[in-house]
C-alpha cells in the first residue's frame, strides 16, 4: 500500500518536531531559486521538508522566484504507479503539515503553486505527466530531453540538456527553448481535491 505519512519519532515512539539547520531558513529568505531534486520521495526529499518552519520559509519567501520540482524519470518502490500529480500532492501535503508545526495560524493550507512554480519532466519519462491538470494548479510544465541509461535502459536526465533547461527557466526564456516538444498530457488524475487527504495526523503511540 502507499505511504500515507512520514514523521519523526523519539525513543518512546512519540512524534517529535525537529527544527532545520538555521542556514536553510536563511538561504530560503535570500536565494532566488529552489530546486527539489530527483531522488526517493519519502527517504530523500520529504524528510527535509517536514521540519518546522521549512514550509513557511518556502511559501512566504520574498526572494524565491523559482521553485523547481525535478520529476523522477521512473518510479521506485516508494512511489509505485505514482503520476506527476501524485508527486505534487505528496510534496504539498508534507509541506502543509510542516506549516502546522510552525506555530503560525493560517486561514487555509497553501496550494501547490505556493511551493512549486515549475515542474521539469523528461520527454521520455515513465511517470505519467498530465500537463493540463498540472498547469491548472498554477505550475508550469517544462519538458527536458532525456536519454536511456546505458545499463538499465530506463530514462534519465542528460546533464548538459538539464543545465540548459534550468538556465532557460532562470532567465525566463524556457518557453521558446522548449518549443516543439510533444505533449505527454493525459486526462488521468486531472481532478484532485484542494487538500490531500493522505496527510491526516495520526495519534502518536503512548510511552511504554
CATH code linked to domain 32-177: 3.40.50.10680
Which of 159, 154, 39 has the alpha carbon at shortest distance from 48?
39
What are the sequence ranges of the domains in the chain? 32-177
Which of 169, 120, 115, 112 has the alpha carbon at shortest distance from 136?
112
Reported as a single tens digit per residue, the pLDDT across 36-45 is 999 999 999 9
pLDDT tens, N- to C-terminus, the chain (208 residues): 788 888 899 999 998 889 999 999 999 999 999 999 999 999 999 999 999 899 999 999 999 999 999 999 999 999 999 999 999 999 999 999 888 766 655 546 899 999 999 999 999 999 999 999 999 999 999 999 999 999 999 999 999 999 999 999 999 887 645 544 444 443 333 333 333 434 444 344 444 4
Q: In the chain, which ranges are E strands?
A: 8-9, 15-16, 33-36, 66-70, 118-122, 140-144, 146-148, 155-157
Distance CA 50, CA 6 (A): 8
- Over pLDDT 90: what percentage of the chain? 69
- 3-state secondary structure (DSSP) of residue 54: helix
Reported as a single tens digit per residue, the pLDDT across 81-111 is 999 999 999 999 999 988 876 665 554 689 9
pTM of the full predicted structure?
Answer: 0.81
Amino acid at each position: 500500500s502507499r505511504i500515507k505519512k512520514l514523521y519523526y519519532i523519539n525513543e518512546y515512539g512519540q512524534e517529535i518536531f525537529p527544527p532545520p539547520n538555521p542556514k536553510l531558513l536563511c538561504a530560503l529568505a535570500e536565494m532566488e531559486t529552489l530546486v527539489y531534486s530527483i531522488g526517493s520521495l519519502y527517504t530523500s526529499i520529504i524528510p527535509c521538508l517536514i521540519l518546522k518552519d521549512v514550509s513557511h520559509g518556502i511559501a512566504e519567501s520574498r526572494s524565491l522566484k523559482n521553485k523547481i520540482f525535478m520529476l523522477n524519470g521512473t518510479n521506485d518502490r516508494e512511489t509505485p504507479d505514482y503520476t506527476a500529480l501524485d508527486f505534487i500532492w505528496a510534496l504539498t501535503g508534507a509541506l502543509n503539515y510542516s506549516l502546522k508545526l510552525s506555530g503560525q495560524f493560517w486561514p487555509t493550507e497553501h496550494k501547490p503553486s505556493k511551493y512549486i512554480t515549475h515542474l521539469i519532466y523528461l520527454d521520455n519519462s515513465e511517470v505519467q505527466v498530465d500537463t493540463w491538470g498540472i498547469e491548472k494548479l498554477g505550475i508550469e510544465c517544462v519538458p527536458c530531453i532525456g536519454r536511456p541509461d546505458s545499463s538499465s535502459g530506463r530514462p534519465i536526465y542528460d546533464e548538459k540538456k538539464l543545465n540548459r533547461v534550468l538556465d532557460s527557466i532562470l532567465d525566463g526564456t524556457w518557453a521558446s527553448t522548449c518549443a516543439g516538444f510533444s505533449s505527454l498530457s493525459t486526462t488521468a488524475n486531472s481532478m484532485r481535491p484542494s487538500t490531500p487527504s493522505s496527510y491526516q495526523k495520526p495519534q502518536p503511540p503512548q510511552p511504554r
